[in-house]
Structure 1
Amino acid sequence: MYGDVSNWDVSGVSNMSGLFQDLSLFNEDLRLWNTAAVTDMRGMFENAQSFNLPIGAWDTSAVMDMSRMFKGARAFDQPIDSWNTSAVTDMRGMFLDAHAFNQPVGSWDVSQ
């Protein structure tokens, strides 16, 4: 109906909260998305149990809410250590029940 999700122009989108929430079989390539305008990624992949594709190149510098972003995303294990998290004020439950996730995030700025 809306075309291939990997080709969506999301450059003007600021709120992606719950976008793929509860889509347990979702595993589409989003690596080329322009996320520079996004401020809310709350629950974006919550319970997207199959999602495990690279999104490490996303521009997350404007994101303020990443709470529950990967909660229940049981397959997700991609490097996201290059993300700019300096504006994030809420990361509560970000990786809760994301059992496969085993990537370093120690370089993130979590001073907010």
Structure 2
Amino acid sequence: MGMLDRFRGTRGRSRTVARDSASEIAALAEWAAARRGVEAFVEPKTAVTDVTAVLVAADGEWTRRIVGERGARRLAGALKIPVYDVNRIGYPQRMRDYDARRRIEQRRAREQEQ
């Protein structure tokens, strides 16, 4: 590593972040294609993560990826799905219902193992 490499490294890092974001967007696009009634919910940046996109299917199944603000909007536009701001409208009830069903199923599976 040369003496000035640390100053030149910002370009390389931004390309890496762009590649990572592109792979996250590709994973979300694949997930959405396999389900029906998918909507995107954009979560704000936190101290720990950048802007994330949560895709929620009609049955409440969901997935989350870190994609950045532009990535979330670009993804929703490319998939032609509605996009919502979580701070404004919150999460859909079907998402909470899906999580509740999964917890019940997991509890029942553990009880059957015993």
Structure 1 and Structure 2 fold alike (TM over 0.5):
no
TM-score by length of 2: 0.25
**Between structures 1 and 2, the one with greater strand share:** 2
TM-score by length of 1: 0.25
Which structure has the larger Rg? Answer: 2
